[in-house]
Amino acid sequence: MNRRAWLLMALLAALWGASYLFIKVALEDDVAPIFVVFTRVALGALVLVPIAWKAGVLGAMRGWGGPIVFMALVQVTIPFVLITYGEQYIASSLTGILVSAAPIFTALIAVRYDDDERPHGIAIAGVVMGIIGVVLLFGVDLSGDSAALVGGLLVLLASVGYAVGSLYLKHRLRGVPAVGIAAMTMVVGTLVLLAPALAQLPPHALEPKTIGSLVALGAGGTGIAFAIYYTLIVEIGPGRASLVAYIAPGFAVIYGVTLLDESVTAGAILGLVLILAGSWIAAEGRLPGQARATPVAPLEPPPALEPAPEPAREPA
């Protein structure tokens, strides 16, 4: 990858890793989790819809209403809500670590539903390694506190949603412009959360740092972050772009320790290492330093946009 790609990836990891910090700051000012998530997706939509419109891909979303709604629920609205509720009870750094388990769940679900993604050989060891990392976190950092245990389970369940969403995206929305999907899922999420958010408005005037955190979370950690991510997908390919998932948790830990005075135990660090290493091995099917089993196809310019085909009529 060239220098521009690495800089964009570092910026993306910094933004995504900071999301848990911004959520924690808003929660500490007694902002309801639903209102936090609503603000996040609404601001994300305000950033992404103009980008999708300028790219000329909004028209390609016609006919994909069912799959878009499903993606909005399973990969945006529900995970964001679970993460925000869960973070009421656990540290932001630990939240970032648990979310990074999504590739492990992707591999587990693929055993039943996706032959291409199903782990084989050393990849199975990677899945087991990641599971051990999760168990370690729950056994060391969350044991003895029922509220923290529930919070951790909520965040872990959100990572399952991310895994389901990624596989659904691959099979049901193949060829549909990704930035258009991101923009429309944010719009749907905004509409879904509007009424609950209005019912849980902040009980007092928000502090400036809370307002700044919400704006940074929505416009930066959601809207701009997704725009950068899809830029990377176009420029360097989805495989290389996905490397950001192994960098962002480190930023989450750094932010939590330095800015929120959170303590990080040796168990948390070991759990992070096991989850990230296991996820990488499960996704790559090889150990670090080993050559790929098949060569990476050269990157090609993205194909010209064509009208999206009529989606299948099966239920989402």
Residue pair 34/196 in contact (Cβ under 8 Å)? The answer is: yes
Confidence check: pLDDT of 2 > 60: yes
Which amino acid belongs to residue 295? P
Residue 108 is predicted with a pLDDT of 85
Residue 304 is predicted with a pLDDT of 41
Band of the pLDDT at 23, cuts 50, 70, 90? very high
Higher-pLDDT residue of 174 and 253 is: 253
- 89-106 mean pLDDT: 88
C-alpha triplet 188, 237, 94: angle, nearest 5°: 60
In this predicted model, what pLDDT tens digit does every residue of 36-78 receive, in sequence order? 999 999 999 999 999 999 989 998 898 899 999 999 999 899 9
- 215-224 mean pLDDT: 94
| Alpha helix segments (H runs only) across the chain | 3-28, 33-55, 65-71, 78-86, 92-99, 102-113, 122-140, 146-172, 178-199, 208-215, 225-236, 238-241, 248-259, 266-284
Residue 209 is predicted with a pLDDT of 95
- 130-138 mean pLDDT: 85
How many Å apart are CA 223 and CA 230, to the nearest integer?
A: 11
In this predicted model, what pLDDT tens digit does every residue of 256-289 receive, in sequence order? 999 999 988 888 888 888 888 887 787 677 776 6
Confidence check: pLDDT of 14 > 60: yes
Per-domain boundaries in the chain? 3-200+208-284
Q: What is the DSSP string of 160-208?
A: HHHHHHHHHHHHHSTTS-HHHHHHHHHHHHHHHHHHHHHHT--SSPPPH
Output the pTM of the full model. Answer: 0.83
Pick the closest to residue 221 from 24, 3, 4, 31 (CA basis): 24
How many Å apart are CA 146 and CA 133, to the nearest integer?
A: 20
Contacts for 48 with CB less than 8 Å, ≥ 6 apart: 179, 182, 183, 186, 223, 226, 227
Confidence check: pLDDT of 298 > 50: no
Higher-pLDDT residue of 1 and 148 is: 148
- 104-124 mean pLDDT: 79
Which amino acid belongs to residue 88? Q
How many Å apart are CA 162 and CA 106, to the nearest integer?
A: 8
Band of the pLDDT at 32, cuts 50, 70, 90? very high
Contacts for 40 with CB less than 8 Å, ≥ 6 apart: 80, 214, 217, 218, 221, 222
Band of the pLDDT at 290, cuts 50, 70, 90? low
Average pLDDT value over all residues in the chain: 84
Confidence check: pLDDT of 98 > 70: yes
